[in-house]
Structure 1
Amino acid sequence: MASSLPKQPLLLFISSLFLLLLFSPLALGSPRGGGGGRPARLTYHGGPLLTGNIKLGLVWYGPTGRIQKSVIRSFIKSLNYRGPRGAYIEPQVSAWWRVVESYQPRRRGMVPPIGVRVVRQVTDKFYSVGKVLTVDFIPGLVQKATGGDKSIIPVIFAARGVTVQGLCMGKCSLHGLSGGQPYIVVGDPETECPGTCAWPFYPSDYGPKGVTLRPPSGNVGADAMVISFASALAGIVTDPYNNGFYGGSIFDPTEAGTACPNVFGSGAFPGYTGKVRVDPATGGAFNVRGARGKKFLLPAVYNPLTSSCWTPL
């Protein structure tokens, strides 16, 4: 993992980091709700971004199903996958990822690629710290995910029935800092607030109910977790230390992955995802394809070049 940092006084950066560690390490999240409308403008606050090659360490916390692991790993592999082009192939997951990459400064007129790969996986099948994950338990799980390697970004995927502090309060995933180490936590919405975090595969608890879609993999938990993880990944790359790109207050920021909630395609409005495709064989809704033809429904991401929501379709 590398980082890109515009020239700033070192003292200012250290002071900013101290304040961030002083306050909530679970400060940033991916909310669901709303949909449509123009997003608030994101501002660059001078801090480093994640660039270069990003190494992920995954912790499957609790007995996580084979399908969920497979779908999430396929999504990660698809971020840098450049498959054949064609009317029935485009758009690809990598097109979504290129928008996230575009937050970096250009080099010789080009946006450098950001490689993402999984280098470590740990299964904590028996809930080593219980079924309620609070901020006090995060450092231990971060250590499990990284094995002490600070260059690895830890990602904690909570299994069904695990309650995560800070989730189900308008947020479906979180990224924060533990001892200066950026990390991500993603909840499984099948039993925890499905009406907030499993939409559009489950009826919404708020606003217009709209049409419930079938998940592209056939597994609600797996595809809903991909949506939440994608939002958090976009956020941690563009705002890893709470001083990168965000809008609003530092205590309740809007980020690249959360600026366009419940938007999955053009023409979205509350209760309607926007334009998506439907697999005629399975009935699953999707808007991108990945490696080996896998299909995913990915959330809109904030495009810094146009100050608008970017959607695959």
Structure 2
Amino acid sequence: MASSPLSILSLTILSLVLLPRLGSSKFVDLSSLPLKYHGGPLLTGNLKLAILWYGNFGRVHKQTITTFVKSLNSVAVPTEPSVATWWRTIESYQPTSKGDVSPKINVQIVKKITDKNYSIGKIITQDFIQKLVQLATGGDKSLLPVIFTAKDVSVVGLCMGKCSEHGTVGAGKLSQSYIIVGNPEIECPGTCAWPFQAAAQGPKMMPLPPPSGNVGADSMVLGFASALAGVVTNPYNTGYFLGPPAAPLEAVTACPGKFGSGALPGYMGKVRIDPADGGAFNAHGIRNKKFLLPAVWNPKTASCWTLL
């Protein structure tokens, strides 16, 4: 890692957040368009996570992700900006009376399962998701299964415009929400491991050093943060989103490529550099851990919001 003592780093990435306007050679930044509430339920109260580590994971992957979860509701982090501050913006999507503070959404890991034997293979299609949900939860509908797949596992649908996803299995009273997050180190480092890897398209700028020291671990935190925000604010494709329900832009995906204040289309904004190890970050967590977290659509200001 770099050893620069500078506390602020600005990088320009020119091609990741602009999408072509159909029938035109111009480009439009979709993050300038508002997310709309479509009247459906949000996830509130206590989120009890059942984590499935599918495949082989190193200690750094597990520690980084679990520390991120434990930091979401922590009040013991004295340094701002913090992971908990980022999460409070997600909590603010809940409807409240004027002047009231949004209720807490408490996130807790209550179950962890490891499947080192790749019990359903290394290519995961939609047909297999329900089996993984069952493996993670043991059939407990009160749990939110979060499936992390190792770098040698391919998840059909990921690395093709999205780096993680949330959805539901079952129908009616038997339906259950889930999250699935892949490790992009092998299959799509130039898209889903950016900004810790050089972008697959556009200028080959110097990547940011990951705050944990591990590209896969911090890339999965980004994917998980995006999907967790999405499942809370749009669990059934009837909550907050922009665009078609089959391919919605949500709380995080509506603000692509933004990590710091001053971010513009093609410009990621400012992030801090840890002078101790050179890792790039914008959020403090528990145990003096640091994270790089994505911008969030702020419903109070109707704009993309960053921690810095």
Q: TM-score range by the shorter chain?
A: 0.7 to 0.9
Q: Deviations over 1:133-171 (max 9, x none)?
A: 001110011011111111101100000110001011011
SS in 1 for 2:85: helix
Q: In structure 1, what is the Cα distance between the partners aligned to 2:246 and 2:212?
A: 35
SS in 2 for 1:184: strand
1:32-43 equivalence runs, <5 A: 33-34=16-17, 38-43=31-36
Q: Deviations over 1:183-239 (max 9, x none)?
A: 011010111100000001100012333331100000000001000100000000000
SS in 2 for 1:253: coil
The answer to whether 1:252 aligns with 2:247 is yes
Gaps of 5+ in 1: 1-31
SS in 2 for 1:232: helix
Identity %: 61
The match for 1:62 among 55, 59, 62 is 55
Q: Deviations over 1:86-114 (max 9, x none)?
A: xxx21000000000000001257121000
1:151-300 equivalence runs, <5 A: 151-179=142-170, 180-269=175-264, 272-300=267-295
Q: Paired residue for 2:96?
A: 106
SS in 2 for 1:60: strand
Hey, which bits of structure 1, 4+ residues long, moved more than 6 A?
A: none
- Which residue identity lines up with residue 64 of structure 1 in the other structure? F
The answer to whether 1:126 aligns with 2:107 is no
| 2:137–2:145 Cα contact (<8 Å) kept | yes
| 1:37–1:269 Cα contact (<8 Å) kept | no
Offset of 1:46 from its aligned partner?
Answer: 1.0
Gaps of 5+ in 2: 1-14, 19-28
CA RMSD of aligned residues (A): 1.6
Offset of 1:272 from its aligned partner?
Answer: 3.8
Q: Paired residue for 1:7?
A: none
Q: In structure 2, what is the Cα distance between the partners aligned to 1:70 and 1:255?
A: 27
- Which residue identity lines up with residue 55 of structure 2 in the other structure? G
Q: In structure 2, what is the Cα distance between the partners aligned to 1:311 and 1:209?
A: 24
For normalisation by structure 2, the TM-score amounts to: 0.87
- Which residue identity lines up with residue 143 of structure 2 in the other structure? I
Q: In structure 2, what is the Cα distance between the partners aligned to 1:195 and 1:66?
A: 24
For normalisation by structure 1, the TM-score amounts to: 0.86
The match for 2:135 among 137, 144, 148 is 144
Q: In structure 2, what is the Cα distance between the partners aligned to 1:43 and 1:137?
A: 32
Number of aligned residue pairs = 279
Q: In structure 1, what is the Cα distance between the partners aligned to 2:53 and 2:282?
A: 26
| 1:208–1:271 Cα contact (<8 Å) kept | no
Q: Paired residue for 1:82?
A: 75
